[in-house]
Amino acid sequence: MKRMINIALPKGRLGEKAYSLIARAGYACPELLEENRKLTFENEQAGVRYFWVKPSDVAIYVERGAADIGIAGKDILLEYAPDVYELLDLSIGKCRMCVAGAQDFSDSHTGILRVATKFPAIARRHYAAQSREIDVIRLNGSIELAPILGLSDVIVDIVETGKTLAENGLCVHEEIVSISARLIANKAHYQFKGAEIEALRQKLEEAARA
């Protein structure tokens, strides 16, 4: 009997892009894109079951085994450091994790640097490597507002085009790491569905390259 692979997809643009890639790889489930209230979607023939979850929750679903595999941004993986396999870089949803601030900002190293971010672990790790003491200000959205209102000196955030930053008189001061979508797998489930997951990974790699 074919084993179903449970796949957690991140809601939103990235998830839709990832799904179209998976569909091209031969694991389509058209029902997934229909407007309905269903939570799980199945293509029994292809052996896959999908569900949409909040992007930041994908890693949790996979780490705790509710999903066998999932598509998560590298930003989420770096922030939460889940104990999962990272099997493939899908090369979609590309952006950069950056330190940004006012155009005329320069770190004088005279006091504690105030950093506003949605990614406190990434920010802490980045500055700890430079032995720079920081005050992390954890925000959930509109991060760009923080330096404008003087809430923080800089922000650590995802930058796609830099347009929002520029429109608010901010710019990138430092790039921390490149971000893109990754295929992740639960370590325990991989032991028992390894053949199915590897087959999907290979087809996905081919589809991503095409």
Partner 1 sequence: MKPETLTTQERIQYELRELYLACGYRPYKVGKFEDYDLYMRNKKFLASEQVLTFSDTNGKLKALKPDVTLSIIKNVKDDGRVQKLCYTETVYRVPRNAYGFREIMQTGLECIGRVDDYAAGEVLMLAARSLQKISERYVLDVSDVGVLSGVLAEEPIGDADCARLLSLVGEKNQHGLTAACAEMGVSQRTTQRLLDLVCACGPLGETLSRVESLDLPQTSREALAGLGRMRDQLAAYGIGNVNLDFSVVNDMDYYNGLVFRGFVEGIPSGILAGGRYDNLLARMGKHGEAIGFAVYLDQLERYMEAKPAYETEALVLYDAATDPLDIVRVTESLRARGISFRVQREEEPCPNCREVVRLAKEANT
What does the DSSP 8-state code read for residue 22? H
58: β partners: none
| Interactions with partner 1, residue window 87-106 (CB under 8 A) | 87-89
Q: Is 83 in the site for partner 1 (CB under 8 A)?
A: yes
Q: How far is the CB of 103 from partner 1 (least distance, A)?
A: 29
In angstroms, give the least distance from the CB of 147 to partner 1. Answer: 30
Q: Which long-range contacts does 132-137 make (Cβ < 8 Å, 24+ apart)?
A: 132/107
DSSP string covering 29-96: -GGGGSSS--SEEEETTTTEEEEEE-GGGHHHHHHTTSSSEEEEEHHHHHHH--SEEEEEE---S-EE
Amino acid at the residue 198:
E
Amino acid letter at 36? N
Q: Which range of residues in 27-35, 58-66, 104-112, 149-157 is near partner 1 by CB under 8 A?
A: 58-66
**Interaction of residue 131 with partner 1, rule CB under 8 A:** no
The verdict on 85 binding partner 1 (CB under 8 A) reads: yes
Nearest approach, Cβ of residue 138 and partner 1 (Å): 15
Q: Nearest CA to 112 among 152, 78, 77, 75?
A: 152
Rounded to a whole number of angstroms, the minimum distance from the CB of residue 151 to partner 1 is 27
Q: Which of 33, 128, 166, 188 binds partner 1 (CB under 8 A)?
A: 188
Q: Summarize as ranges the residues that interact with partner 1 (CB under 8 A).
A: 60, 63-66, 80-89, 186-189, 191-192, 194
